[in-house]
Structure 1
Amino acid sequence: MPIADRQRPAPGELVLDHVSHFVPDLDKAGALLEALGFAVTPVSAQVTQDGPAGTSNRCVMLNEGYLEFLTPTADTPNAQRMRKSMRRYRGVHLVCFGTPTAQEEHFRLQQHGFAPQPIVSLERQVEGGRKVRFSVVRAAPGRMPEGRIQYVEHLAPGAIWQPRHLRHRNGVLGLAAAYVVAADPARAAARWARFMGGLPRRDGRLVSLQTDRGRVLFGTRAQVQALLGAAPRSPGIAGYALACRDPGAFARRCRAAGLRVNRHLAVTLPPALGGAWRLVPLEKR
């Protein structure tokens, strides 16, 4: 099956689709990512059914999921919310799950008290004149205080999962996990479990929610910082795990670029990106 077709889950499945850094400068973010061996998509402006979203992005497409780097470009309500989040901390503010049907997720979230906003029809034009189209479901502001937690239904995955965007020179293949900081990890995980339709479990000192592809891990700030080397104040999203062909080789590349890498192969990212990566082998996702 082509990689693009694998990004749309089968009926009844849920996957960790992407995470988003909110960044002040897409050019600086893109230059750093390219220096670390990633192929980065060109800048693309987002549009909703109501007009321009006031944001633009660049992405790192992976065999499993993707990484988004998003910046505010106007004074829309969406862009204003982004700037408010960026004043709290620089880094990852969005976790998105892939679903085969946005409409059903919207109904389920209504039933579970998350008061979802109306489904957003997002699109953006990419090189070659093709359009990427999504349906996005978001909880009401404040219902998920850790960040913008949402669902996406991909309507044209082939427009962005193009072979040239998957030719990374660092062996990174997939998005494996997201790390959430919470004052009460068990309580936060229980709320996310209702949002996701999952079952939280203990995973060492952390709490884990597994999807059909990827997982979400919850810990206190001290617990997550001990693992990743950096973490924002609660509530927040500290970073994520990247599944690598050779984590040690990519860690050496990051060190050579001047980034701090700890004994857990966690990379503290500079202000151009914010947050942290944990480099893991494919079999330990």
Structure 2
Amino acid sequence: MGIAERRLIHGSQVPDRIDQVLRPSRCREQPEPGQNPEDQGAARQAWHGRAVPAYTGEPEEIEIGVMAPSYRGGSDLSDDAMNFPDRQTPTGDEVFFDHVAWMTADMDRASAAFERLGFVLTPYSEHGNRDPETGERQVQGSANRLAMLERGYIELLCAVPGTDTPVSRNIADNLARYEGVHLVACTVSDADADYARLQRQGTPLYPMVHLRRDVEAADGSDAEVAFSVVRPEFGAFPEGRMQVLTHHTPDHMWQDRYIARENGLTGLAQVLFCVEDPAASAARLSALTRTPWRTDGEDAVIDLTRGRMRFTTEAGLDRLIPGAVAPSLPFVAALGFRSRDVAASRAFFADRGVTMMGRSDGADGGFAIGAQDGLGCYLMISD
């Protein structure tokens, strides 16, 4: 099913259930460790059929890939408020929701769509990485433009015309399913350490890459942005292309001239996956992000050090965003953004002729931009 064929709702009011995506309620109580193992057994599965070890320790010793139990007095995983420290890059063991990538076959059309939404795009840039032995730059077969936020960023990603590489073929394969968000990335302080950890876990990985892109520095001089990226093999995570990376040149990445101001959006806060089995998906990405997961009603949730991942079913997607239909599963259905002033953001998008879905009570507690204007993904705006 293509984007134009989706059953979208335009101009109708979305009830308060939007807030369940933006600010979920406290998770329901889970069995204590060691109790009712059959209730959690089906959910405790790592990818490729390997069992995820059961929880055995105290709260501070939660093992990765398992449900985070509720404890009397609560924990940071069961708080209503989303974690969102006011820093661009993580330190120590922190894991931040960093960016997502829309895959498109038409960079010009995608760029126009995002400029209409008030994003300032960086110049078109082709990817390459350094050969660890020779230092020679190798073509990856992809190119991008970025829309920077005060916290995190979004990426428009396309295959470089005329290239035939694993990356360009993967982009084509994903576009055959739907145009929209297919890549979700978290940032850590030491990607090499996470690469070693994931190798020990048995996660299928491509070799570590050290990506480089030529940019113009804020002072007009030539510069290069640099990342170290952990790349699970294509297909290792059905939920999408998942990455873990470390930023080595944040000052060149987040140049003030490229940070969106007009639309009032300040940060990338949440991603909503529509999947067949929310618990299984959460367990897989819990192992990737070394962050325990929990349930929230019928959904599963991972609360990162900054930001959140939410997993729901097709029925859950319709419950959270009435009328939304997944073109195929799995599907990155929606992204949550923070706004410094929800009313001002709403007015900006209205002036641009963007279709919005708001709360039924008219309050400025949040609103959504439909998937047609969001290039295949719903955009959820909150304060």
TM over 0.5: yes
- Taking the aligned partners of 1:20 and 1:177, their CA distance within structure 2 comes to 14
* Structure 1 contact 259–269 (Cα < 8 Å) conserved: no
What residue in structure 2 maps to residue 239 of structure 1?
334
Determine which of 88, 91, 106 is the counterpart of 2:180. 91
* Structure 1 contact 231–275 (Cα < 8 Å) conserved: no
- Taking the aligned partners of 2:371 and 2:350, their CA distance within structure 1 comes to 11
Structure 1 residues 209 and 240 mapped into 2: Cα distance closer, same or farther (>3 Å)?
same
For structure 2, list consecutive stretches of 5 or more residues without a partner in the other structure.
1-85, 132-137, 360-366
- Taking the aligned partners of 1:48 and 1:119, their CA distance within structure 2 comes to 10
Matched letter for residue 256 of structure 2 = P
Pairwise CA distance, 1:258: 4.1
Determine which of 301, 308, 333 is the counterpart of 1:215. 308
Matched letter for residue 189 of structure 1 = A
Pairwise CA distance, 1:261: 2.3
Pairwise CA distance, 1:248: 3.8
RCO higher in structure (CA 8 A, sep ≥6): 2
* Structure 2 contact 118–260 (Cα < 8 Å) conserved: no
Matched letter for residue 206 of structure 1 = D
- Taking the aligned partners of 1:202 and 1:15, their CA distance within structure 2 comes to 20
Matched, 1:124 2:124: no
What residue in structure 2 maps to residue 200 of structure 1?
293
Counterpart of 1:7 in 2: which secondary structure? coil
Pairwise CA distance, 1:260: 3.3
- The root-mean-square deviation of aligned C-alpha atoms, in Å, is 2.0
Matched, 1:80 2:161: no
TM-score, length of structure 2 as denominator length: 0.68
Instruction: Tell me the percent identity.
Output: 36
Matched letter for residue 191 of structure 1 = R
Alignment of 1:1-285 (within 5 A): 6-49=87-130, 51-73=138-160, 74-127=163-216, 128-228=221-321, 229-263=324-358, 265-270=367-372, 273-281=375-383
Number of positions where the alignment pairs a residue of Structure 1 with one of Structure 2: 277
Counterpart of 1:37 in 2: which secondary structure? coil
Pairwise CA distance, 1:224: 2.2
For structure 1, list consecutive stretches of 5 or more residues without a partner in the other structure.
none
Moved over 4 A (4+): none
Pairwise CA distance, 1:230: 4.7
Counterpart of 1:87 in 2: which secondary structure? helix
Select the structure that is richer in strand.
1
- Taking the aligned partners of 2:260 and 2:291, their CA distance within structure 1 comes to 33
Matched letter for residue 196 of structure 1 = T
Deviates more, 1:209-218 or 1:67-76: 67-76
Pairwise CA distance, 1:184: 0.8
Residues 161-205 of structure 1, C-alpha deviations (whole Å, 9 max, x = no match)? 011112420110000001111101011111111111111112344
Matched letter for residue 145 of structure 2 = R
- Taking the aligned partners of 1:278 and 1:225, their CA distance within structure 2 comes to 15
* Structure 2 contact 265–337 (Cα < 8 Å) conserved: yes
